[in-house]
Amino acid sequence: MKNEIIKLFRNEVTGMYVSNDTIGEILDDKENHFISRIEDSKLIGVSVINRNTIYLLLVDKVYQRQGVGTFLLEESEKYIKSKGFNECKLGAGKEYIVPGVPMNENAHLFFKKHNYVHSWGDQQCIDLDISLDDFIYDKNIVGDIVDGILYRFATPDDVEGIVDCCKEDTSSFIEHYRNDSLYEPDSSDPVIVAEKDGEIVAALMIGVESGDAGIGYAGCIITAPSHRGKGIATTLLKIGTTHMKNMGRKRVWLSYTYTAIENTYKKLGYKICMEYFMGQKEL
């Protein structure tokens, strides 16, 4: 069923950079539960559930507005409740294929009709991207010192310093920065840090989206609270984006971020390419 789900995803969800390899890896999780509808031996609808999160709820366009989506949602909620959970989330849980419900084709209105609410309050969840043909920055690269700060690739010895930067208000990033594979020699998904007087003061993840030679990504940018407002994050992002361009990427994509840091990226030419409804409902 995995390949059928990926095909249905590609047919029904537009504007997403996530690779088929990434989708496949998440679908292989043994904790997943699948609720499907088959018509004439064809998958026309599916809900992918992990714990109390619906990773995906997809319905073939031909069969939309015929009750298939409502059936899948109601059955998903029943399953989640039977496992002892009292709320259902859409999109991001232990993993995510999409952070929430993409709003480009108003799919979120279906969930609002079923009493789901946006769980991020005034903040919006967004993706941003940039065409590297439009990005020009020829000043600094990884390894340079800018205004007394060294911008370099992180090593395993830097992990605790990076985590310290996360502790105040970006603690959700800690588990991502503790991924040992990021610090392996020649990693395709390295971390760039800003170091001042031997202290890690900022960090950024960059990498290559598997299965697509033209797409790079950046994300989880953090700055230690005592060093904010000094342009460090902007310089870090410039250097990281430059590195991706030098690697031959055509676009850089930032997924699952929030509007409060949008301006840091916009300064460099990043633009919003997707907004998400971060749906949640008490059961």
User: How many angstroms separate the Cα of 108 from the Cα of each of 75, 90, 129, 145, 268?
Assistant: 18, 10, 22, 46, 30
pLDDT tens per residue across span 170-181: 788 888 899 999
Assign domain 2-121+278-282 to its CATH architecture.
3-Layer(aba) Sandwich (3.40)
Residue recorded with tokens 């090593």: 155
CATH number belonging to domain 134-249 = 3.40.630.30
What pLDDT, on a 0 to 100 scale, did the predictor assign at position 76?
Answer: 98
d(CA 90, CA 96) in angstroms, rounded, equals: 9
* Per-residue pLDDT in tens (0 to 9) along the chain, 283 residues: 999 999 999 999 988 888 898 899 999 999 999 999 999 999 999 999 999 999 999 999 999 999 999 999 999 999 999 999 999 999 999 899 999 999 988 999 999 999 999 999 988 999 999 999 888 887 899 999 999 999 999 999 999 999 999 887 778 888 889 999 999 988 888 999 999 999 999 999 998 765 566 888 998 899 999 999 999 999 999 999 999 999 888 999 988 888 877 888 888 899 999 999 999 999 9
List all residues 6 or more positions away from 142 whose beta carbon is below 8 Å from its beta carbon.
151, 152, 153, 192, 239, 243
**Half-sphere exposure (CA, 13 Å, Cβ side) for 271?**
8
DSSP state of 91: S
DSSP state of 139: S
d(CA 23, CA 28) in angstroms, rounded, equals: 9
pLDDT tens per residue across span 187-241: 888 999 999 999 999 999 998 765 566 888 998 899 999 999 999 999 999 999 9
In this chain, the answer to whether the domains covering 2-121+278-282 and 134-249 adopt an identical fold is yes
Instruction: State pTM to two decimals.
Output: 0.86
Q: Can you give the residue ranges of every domain in the chain?
A: 2-121+278-282, 134-249
